[in-house]
């Protein structure tokens, strides 16, 4: 009985960790419409600048880290020792709503 309970809890945790497909799709649209264009510096699935590939970013970074790279890139670059140039511009709430940030994060987290 205990084994079945643990298995059910693990299954629920796995399902909860999967992002909502509609949110992921919206995140793709947010990325495509970002200004400045993310693909000037980043590449996903062979499209964009190969200097900074985002393929697999969902396996490397937590949602909180992804949000930090988007909202406060200077601070997290200093924290991580990143010397990437040009520096990523911050996407403040006036440029990217919290709702769009959540969608973009879901999309990037889906890139495993």
Note the pTM of the prediction, 2 decimals.
0.82
**Predicted confidence pLDDT, tens digits, the chain (112 residues):** 544 444 444 544 444 467 799 999 999 999 999 988 999 999 999 999 999 999 999 999 999 999 999 999 999 999 999 998 889 999 999 999 999 999 999 999 999 9
Q: Is the residue at 34 inside a domain?
A: yes
Within a domain: 6: no
From CA 6, how far away is CA 3, in angstroms rounded? 5
Q: Which domain holds residue 95?
A: 20-109
- Residue 4 in any domain: the answer is no
What's 72's domain CATH number?
2.60.40.420
In-domain check, residue 55: yes
The whole-angstrom separation of Cα 107 and Cα 87 is: 22
Is 54 inside any structural domain?
Answer: yes
Q: Is residue 62 classed as helix, strand or coil in its secondary structure?
A: coil
Residue 2 lies inside a defined structural domain of this protein: no
Instruction: Give the span between the Cα atoms of 23 and 16, in whole angstroms.
Output: 14
Backbone angles phi, psi at 38, to 5 degrees: -60, -30
């Amino acid at each position: 009985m205990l084994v079945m309970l643990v298995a059910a809890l693990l299954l629920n945790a796995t399902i909860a960790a999967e992002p909502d497909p509609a949110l992921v799709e919206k995140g793709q649209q947010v990325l495509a419409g970002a200004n400045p264009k993310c693909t000037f510096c980043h590449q996903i699935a062979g499209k964009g600048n190969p200097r900074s590939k985002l393929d697999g970013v969902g396996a490397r970074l937590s949602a909180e880290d992804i949000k930090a790279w988007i909202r406060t890139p200077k601070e997290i670059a200093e924290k991580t020792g990143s010397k990437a140039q040009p520096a990523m511009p911050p996407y403040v709430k006036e440029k990217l709503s919290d709702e769009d940030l959540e969608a973009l994060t879901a999309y990037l987290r889906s890139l495993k």
